[in-house]
Amino acid sequence: MKPFAPGDIFLGCTYLCNPDDDHAGEGRILQYDRNMVPKGTLYTEGTTHLVVNLRFGPDGVLWGFDAFAHAVVRVATMGVAYLKNGILCLLRGSFIDFIDADGNSLRTIELDEYGYAMIALSDDDRFAYVTNIFTGVMSKVDLASGDIVGAIDTGMARPSRSLAGVAVYPG
């Protein structure tokens, strides 16, 4: 799977390969862009039959279900956030890439090192909060200047590597 972009289409499309059960097979989700061009395939784990009822939650997580295996499929994007104007902020390990609805890179902000994996935006779109899984540091990035203006070191650097999420309360 590729990072989610506005207009992407997701299809529960299980490869039915069991001659003894016409609903059984390898669960997979196909991803297409807004122009219906293939972007990627996710083979689901823990499913044995049709992956159905794909839906996005309000937090942008894609959900699907396999009623036969009693399995829930959760597909969360990593390193993706949207500005209020629809611009995609895509975190690419050592930089933030700003991408328009047509997939064009508008600009980038270089970060201090590699390992950034998750991103959240301030409610006013002024700052990005990015987490580095290798160093255990959350950095606050000013989106106008590109400067890192603050940091929290959790102390969870390699080999612990547990810094894997960030959220900013909008209130």
| 8 A C-beta contact, residue 32 and residue 5 | no
Q: What whole-number percentage of the chain has pLDDT above 70?
A: 94
Q: What is the pLDDT of residues 21-40, one digit of tens each?
A: 888 888 888 888 888 899 98
**Nearest partner of 15 among 38, 39, 49, judged by Cα:** 49
Res 78: pLDDT: 67
Which token pair is 98? Answer: 């700003």
* pLDDT at 2 exceeding the cut of 90: no
| 8 A C-beta contact, residue 83 and residue 89 | yes
In this prediction, residues 120-133 reach a mean pLDDT of 92
**Edge-to-edge strand ranges of the sheet holding 137-142:** 116-121, 127-132, 137-142, 148-153
Residue 117 phi, psi (nearest 5):
-130, -25
Res 77: pLDDT: 66
Does the global pTM surpass 0.75? no
Range 80-153 classified under CATH 2.40.160 = no
What Rg, from alpha-carbon coordinates, does the chain have?
18
Query: Furthest-apart CA pair in the chain: how many Å?
Result: 61
**Residue 79 binned pLDDT confidence (cut-offs 50, 70, 90):** confident
Which token pair is 161? Answer: 């590597």
* pLDDT at 145 exceeding the cut of 80: yes
**Nearest partner of 131 among 91, 90, 74, 76, judged by Cα:** 91
Q: Give the domain ranges of the chain.
A: 9-75, 80-153
For residues 29 and 171, the model is more confident at 29
* pLDDT at 151 exceeding the cut of 90: yes
